[in-house]
Structure 1
Amino acid sequence: MTDPANLPLEAFPSQTVQTLRYADMDSAGHVNNAVYATLSEAGRTPVLYDPARGMPPEGCHFSIVKLTINYMAEMTWPGDVTIGTGITRIGGSSVSIRQAIFKDGRCCATAENVVVLTDSTARKSSPLPKHAREWFETLLISEQA
Protein backbone atom coordinates (compact mmCIF):
# COMPACT_ATOMS: atom_id res chain seq x y z
CA MET A 1 0.00 0.00 0.00
CA THR A 2 1.35 3.40 -1.00
CA ASP A 3 1.68 6.01 1.73
CA PRO A 4 -1.12 8.53 1.07
CA ALA A 5 1.36 11.36 1.72
CA ASN A 6 3.11 10.31 -1.50
CA LEU A 7 -0.05 10.53 -3.60
CA PRO A 8 -0.61 13.67 -5.66
CA LEU A 9 -3.88 15.53 -5.23
CA GLU A 10 -4.94 14.30 -8.67
CA ALA A 11 -5.00 10.70 -7.34
CA PHE A 12 -8.06 11.54 -5.23
CA PRO A 13 -11.37 11.34 -7.13
CA SER A 14 -13.12 13.87 -4.87
CA GLN A 15 -11.59 17.24 -3.99
CA THR A 16 -12.99 19.85 -1.62
CA VAL A 17 -11.58 23.33 -0.94
CA GLN A 18 -11.89 24.94 2.49
CA THR A 19 -10.68 28.37 3.63
CA LEU A 20 -8.73 28.41 6.87
CA ARG A 21 -10.08 30.77 9.51
CA TYR A 22 -8.08 32.91 11.92
CA ALA A 23 -9.87 31.00 14.71
CA ASP A 24 -8.33 27.74 13.43
CA MET A 25 -4.93 28.74 14.83
CA ASP A 26 -3.68 27.76 18.26
CA SER A 27 -1.33 29.59 20.63
CA ALA A 28 1.71 28.26 18.72
CA GLY A 29 0.52 30.08 15.58
CA HIS A 30 -0.34 27.05 13.50
CA VAL A 31 -3.60 25.30 12.63
CA ASN A 32 -4.79 23.39 15.70
CA ASN A 33 -4.69 19.61 15.51
CA ALA A 34 -8.48 19.33 16.07
CA VAL A 35 -9.13 21.37 12.91
CA TYR A 36 -7.66 18.55 10.81
CA ALA A 37 -10.56 16.29 11.91
CA THR A 38 -12.99 19.00 10.80
CA LEU A 39 -11.21 19.29 7.45
CA SER A 40 -11.44 15.52 7.05
CA GLU A 41 -15.18 15.74 7.71
CA ALA A 42 -15.51 18.54 5.14
CA GLY A 43 -13.85 16.30 2.55
CA ARG A 44 -15.90 13.17 3.21
CA THR A 45 -19.30 14.91 3.54
CA PRO A 46 -19.76 15.52 -0.24
CA VAL A 47 -19.04 11.82 -0.80
CA LEU A 48 -21.41 10.49 1.88
CA TYR A 49 -24.17 13.12 1.84
CA ASP A 50 -25.33 13.89 -1.69
CA PRO A 51 -29.14 13.97 -2.05
CA ALA A 52 -28.83 13.96 -5.85
CA ARG A 53 -27.27 10.49 -5.56
CA GLY A 54 -29.66 9.24 -2.89
CA MET A 55 -26.91 9.44 -0.29
CA PRO A 56 -27.21 8.53 2.41
CA PRO A 57 -29.83 5.92 1.60
CA GLU A 58 -33.30 6.72 2.95
CA GLY A 59 -33.68 6.07 6.68
CA CYS A 60 -29.93 5.82 7.20
CA HIS A 61 -26.91 7.90 8.11
CA PHE A 62 -23.18 7.25 8.15
CA SER A 63 -21.40 6.73 11.47
CA ILE A 64 -17.67 7.27 11.63
CA VAL A 65 -16.09 4.41 13.58
CA LYS A 66 -12.43 5.14 12.95
CA LEU A 67 -10.40 8.23 12.13
CA THR A 68 -6.61 8.17 12.06
CA ILE A 69 -4.79 11.39 11.23
CA ASN A 70 -1.11 11.65 10.37
CA TYR A 71 0.34 15.14 10.65
CA MET A 72 2.98 15.68 7.98
CA ALA A 73 3.66 19.41 7.98
CA GLU A 74 2.62 22.54 9.83
CA MET A 75 -0.18 24.65 8.35
CA THR A 76 -0.66 28.31 9.09
CA TRP A 77 -3.39 30.84 8.42
CA PRO A 78 -4.32 32.44 6.01
CA GLY A 79 -5.05 30.33 2.98
CA ASP A 80 -7.11 27.63 1.39
CA VAL A 81 -6.64 23.90 1.75
CA THR A 82 -7.76 21.16 -0.61
CA ILE A 83 -8.90 17.87 0.83
CA GLY A 84 -8.48 14.93 -1.53
CA THR A 85 -10.83 12.04 -0.76
CA GLY A 86 -11.20 8.56 -2.19
CA ILE A 87 -12.47 5.11 -1.30
CA THR A 88 -10.05 2.25 -0.60
CA ARG A 89 -12.44 -0.52 0.46
CA ILE A 90 -16.15 -1.23 0.11
CA GLY A 91 -17.50 -3.70 2.65
CA GLY A 92 -20.95 -5.08 3.34
CA SER A 93 -22.05 -2.06 5.40
CA SER A 94 -18.85 -0.05 5.71
CA VAL A 95 -16.51 2.00 3.55
CA SER A 96 -12.84 2.87 4.09
CA ILE A 97 -11.86 6.37 3.03
CA ARG A 98 -8.37 7.75 2.40
CA GLN A 99 -7.75 11.49 2.46
CA ALA A 100 -4.90 13.95 2.12
CA ILE A 101 -4.97 17.62 3.07
CA PHE A 102 -2.96 19.93 0.83
CA LYS A 103 -1.97 23.56 1.34
CA ASP A 104 0.08 25.44 -1.24
CA GLY A 105 0.60 22.19 -3.17
CA ARG A 106 2.10 20.38 -0.18
CA CYS A 107 0.56 17.40 1.63
CA CYS A 108 0.24 18.52 5.25
CA ALA A 109 -1.78 15.62 6.66
CA THR A 110 -3.37 12.32 5.73
CA ALA A 111 -6.39 10.59 7.20
CA GLU A 112 -7.80 7.08 7.13
CA ASN A 113 -11.52 6.80 7.92
CA VAL A 114 -13.96 3.94 8.31
CA VAL A 115 -17.67 4.76 8.14
CA VAL A 116 -20.62 2.42 8.60
CA LEU A 117 -24.05 2.83 7.06
CA THR A 118 -26.41 2.95 10.06
CA ASP A 119 -30.17 2.46 10.19
CA SER A 120 -31.33 5.70 11.84
CA THR A 121 -34.23 4.02 13.69
CA ALA A 122 -32.68 0.69 14.74
CA ARG A 123 -29.26 2.32 15.34
CA LYS A 124 -27.56 -0.73 13.83
CA SER A 125 -25.45 -1.23 10.74
CA SER A 126 -27.30 -1.62 7.46
CA PRO A 127 -26.10 -3.24 4.20
CA LEU A 128 -24.94 -0.84 1.51
CA PRO A 129 -27.56 -0.75 -1.25
CA LYS A 130 -26.59 -1.22 -4.91
CA HIS A 131 -26.69 2.51 -5.78
CA ALA A 132 -24.35 3.36 -2.87
CA ARG A 133 -21.91 0.61 -3.84
CA GLU A 134 -21.93 1.85 -7.45
CA TRP A 135 -21.26 5.43 -6.32
CA PHE A 136 -18.38 4.34 -4.08
CA GLU A 137 -16.87 2.27 -6.90
CA THR A 138 -16.50 5.45 -8.98
CA LEU A 139 -14.41 6.92 -6.14
CA LEU A 140 -11.98 4.02 -5.64
CA ILE A 141 -8.30 4.86 -5.31
CA SER A 142 -5.91 2.21 -6.51
CA GLU A 143 -3.85 0.77 -3.63
CA GLN A 144 -0.89 1.06 -5.98
CA ALA A 145 -1.60 4.71 -6.84
Structure 2
Amino acid sequence: MYLTLIEPRVSETDGVGHINNTTIPIWLEAGRNKLFKLFNPEDTFHDWKMIILKTNVEYVAQIYFGKDVEVKTWVKKIGNSSLELYEEIHQEGRLCVIGTAVYVNFNLQTQKSEPIPNDIRQELELHLYENIN
Protein backbone atom coordinates (compact mmCIF):
# COMPACT_ATOMS: atom_id res chain seq x y z
CA MET A 1 0.00 0.00 0.00
CA TYR A 2 1.12 3.51 -0.76
CA LEU A 3 0.21 5.99 1.98
CA THR A 4 -0.11 9.75 1.46
CA LEU A 5 -1.00 12.23 4.20
CA ILE A 6 -2.94 15.34 3.26
CA GLU A 7 -3.74 18.37 5.38
CA PRO A 8 -7.12 19.74 4.22
CA ARG A 9 -7.11 23.42 3.27
CA VAL A 10 -9.73 26.02 4.12
CA SER A 11 -10.31 26.61 0.39
CA GLU A 12 -11.35 22.95 -0.01
CA THR A 13 -14.18 23.36 2.50
CA ASP A 14 -17.62 24.13 1.07
CA GLY A 15 -20.57 26.09 2.36
CA VAL A 16 -22.00 23.21 4.40
CA GLY A 17 -18.76 22.75 6.36
CA HIS A 18 -17.18 19.66 4.84
CA ILE A 19 -14.53 19.10 2.18
CA ASN A 20 -16.07 19.67 -1.23
CA ASN A 21 -16.65 16.54 -3.32
CA THR A 22 -14.66 18.03 -6.22
CA THR A 23 -11.53 17.95 -4.04
CA ILE A 24 -11.60 14.19 -3.49
CA PRO A 25 -10.44 13.11 -6.99
CA ILE A 26 -7.49 15.50 -6.63
CA TRP A 27 -6.53 13.92 -3.31
CA LEU A 28 -6.84 10.43 -4.80
CA GLU A 29 -4.53 11.48 -7.62
CA ALA A 30 -2.03 12.78 -5.05
CA GLY A 31 -1.99 9.28 -3.61
CA ARG A 32 -0.79 8.00 -6.99
CA ASN A 33 2.38 10.13 -7.16
CA LYS A 34 4.68 7.25 -6.18
CA LEU A 35 3.13 5.15 -8.95
CA PHE A 36 3.68 7.95 -11.46
CA LYS A 37 7.33 8.07 -10.35
CA LEU A 38 7.72 4.35 -11.13
CA PHE A 39 6.67 4.89 -14.72
CA ASN A 40 8.35 8.27 -15.10
CA PRO A 41 11.34 8.63 -12.72
CA GLU A 42 12.30 12.02 -14.19
CA ASP A 43 8.89 13.57 -13.40
CA THR A 44 8.67 15.10 -16.86
CA PHE A 45 5.66 15.26 -19.14
CA HIS A 46 7.80 14.72 -22.25
CA ASP A 47 7.73 10.95 -21.78
CA TRP A 48 4.67 10.56 -19.54
CA LYS A 49 3.38 6.98 -19.40
CA MET A 50 0.37 6.80 -17.07
CA ILE A 51 -2.84 7.57 -18.98
CA ILE A 52 -6.06 7.36 -17.01
CA LEU A 53 -8.92 5.39 -18.55
CA LYS A 54 -11.52 5.26 -15.80
CA THR A 55 -12.19 6.46 -12.26
CA ASN A 56 -14.91 5.80 -9.74
CA VAL A 57 -15.49 7.55 -6.41
CA GLU A 58 -17.86 6.48 -3.64
CA TYR A 59 -18.45 9.00 -0.86
CA VAL A 60 -18.93 7.05 2.38
CA ALA A 61 -18.62 9.75 5.07
CA GLN A 62 -17.99 13.49 5.25
CA ILE A 63 -14.45 14.85 5.58
CA TYR A 64 -13.73 18.02 7.53
CA PHE A 65 -11.16 20.79 7.64
CA GLY A 66 -8.71 20.76 10.54
CA LYS A 67 -7.99 17.04 10.62
CA ASP A 68 -5.45 15.31 8.38
CA VAL A 69 -6.53 12.59 6.00
CA GLU A 70 -4.77 9.44 4.82
CA VAL A 71 -4.96 8.41 1.19
CA LYS A 72 -4.29 4.68 0.86
CA THR A 73 -3.55 3.30 -2.59
CA TRP A 74 -3.28 -0.37 -3.49
CA VAL A 75 -2.83 -2.16 -6.79
CA LYS A 76 -5.93 -4.24 -7.41
CA LYS A 77 -4.97 -5.84 -10.72
CA ILE A 78 -2.01 -5.78 -13.10
CA GLY A 79 -2.65 -6.51 -16.75
CA ASN A 80 -0.27 -6.60 -19.68
CA SER A 81 -0.25 -2.84 -20.22
CA SER A 82 -2.79 -1.62 -17.66
CA LEU A 83 -3.33 -1.58 -13.93
CA GLU A 84 -6.34 -1.08 -11.71
CA LEU A 85 -6.03 0.72 -8.39
CA TYR A 86 -8.13 0.49 -5.25
CA GLU A 87 -8.05 3.60 -3.06
CA GLU A 88 -9.41 4.73 0.28
CA ILE A 89 -9.43 8.03 2.14
CA HIS A 90 -9.58 7.91 5.94
CA GLN A 91 -9.96 10.65 8.53
CA GLU A 92 -9.50 9.93 12.23
CA GLY A 93 -9.56 6.20 11.51
CA ARG A 94 -12.91 6.45 9.70
CA LEU A 95 -13.33 5.30 6.09
CA CYS A 96 -14.66 8.29 4.14
CA VAL A 97 -14.04 7.53 0.45
CA ILE A 98 -13.56 4.45 -1.72
CA GLY A 99 -12.15 4.88 -5.20
CA THR A 100 -10.91 2.90 -8.15
CA ALA A 101 -8.88 3.96 -11.15
CA VAL A 102 -7.63 2.24 -14.28
CA TYR A 103 -4.43 3.38 -15.98
CA VAL A 104 -2.63 2.23 -19.09
CA ASN A 105 1.11 2.38 -19.78
CA PHE A 106 1.03 4.53 -22.90
CA ASN A 107 3.66 5.75 -25.35
CA LEU A 108 2.84 9.33 -26.33
CA GLN A 109 5.08 9.24 -29.41
CA THR A 110 3.56 6.10 -30.95
CA GLN A 111 0.11 6.70 -29.43
CA LYS A 112 -0.05 3.03 -28.38
CA SER A 113 -0.11 1.13 -25.13
CA GLU A 114 3.03 -0.72 -24.07
CA PRO A 115 3.56 -3.69 -21.76
CA ILE A 116 4.39 -2.81 -18.17
CA PRO A 117 8.15 -3.43 -17.72
CA ASN A 118 9.08 -6.34 -15.44
CA ASP A 119 10.90 -4.18 -12.86
CA ILE A 120 7.84 -1.95 -12.49
CA ARG A 121 5.54 -4.98 -12.39
CA GLN A 122 7.60 -6.44 -9.51
CA GLU A 123 7.28 -3.20 -7.53
CA LEU A 124 3.54 -3.03 -8.20
CA GLU A 125 3.13 -6.60 -6.97
CA LEU A 126 4.44 -5.50 -3.56
CA HIS A 127 1.36 -3.29 -3.24
CA LEU A 128 -1.33 -5.76 -4.32
CA TYR A 129 -4.53 -5.78 -2.34
CA GLU A 130 -5.83 -9.29 -2.76
CA ASN A 131 -8.98 -9.13 -0.68
CA ILE A 132 -11.15 -6.78 -2.73
CA ASN A 133 -14.51 -8.15 -3.81
1:41 matched to 2:25? The reply is no
Mapped partners of 2:19, 2:69: distance in 1? 11
Please list every run of at least 4 consecutive aligned residues from structure 1 whose deviation after the TM superposition is greater than 4 angstroms: none
Task: Name 1:74's counterpart in structure 2.
Answer: 62
Contact kept, 8 Å, 1:66 with 1:115, in 2: the verdict is yes
In structure 2, the CA distance between the partners of 1:63 and 1:144, relative to structure 1 (3 Å rule), is: closer
CA root-mean-square deviation: 1.7
TM-score by length of 1: 0.82
Q: Counterpart in 2 of 1:56?
A: 40
Q: Is the 8 A contact 2:76 2:132 kept in 1?
A: no
Partner SS for 1:95: strand
* Letter aligned with residue 40 of structure 1: L
TM-score after normalising by structure 2? 0.89
Shift in Å at residue 39 of structure 1? 0.8
Aligned residues: 129
Q: Which has the higher helix share?
A: 1
Which residue number in structure 2 is paired with residue 140 of structure 1?
A: 128
Residue 129 of structure 1 corresponds to 117
Percent identity at matched positions?
29
Residue ranges of structure 2 left out of the alignment (5+ in a row): none
Task: Please name the residue that 2:91 is paired with.
Answer: 103
Which secondary structure state, in structure 2, belongs to the residue aligned with residue 33 of structure 1? coil
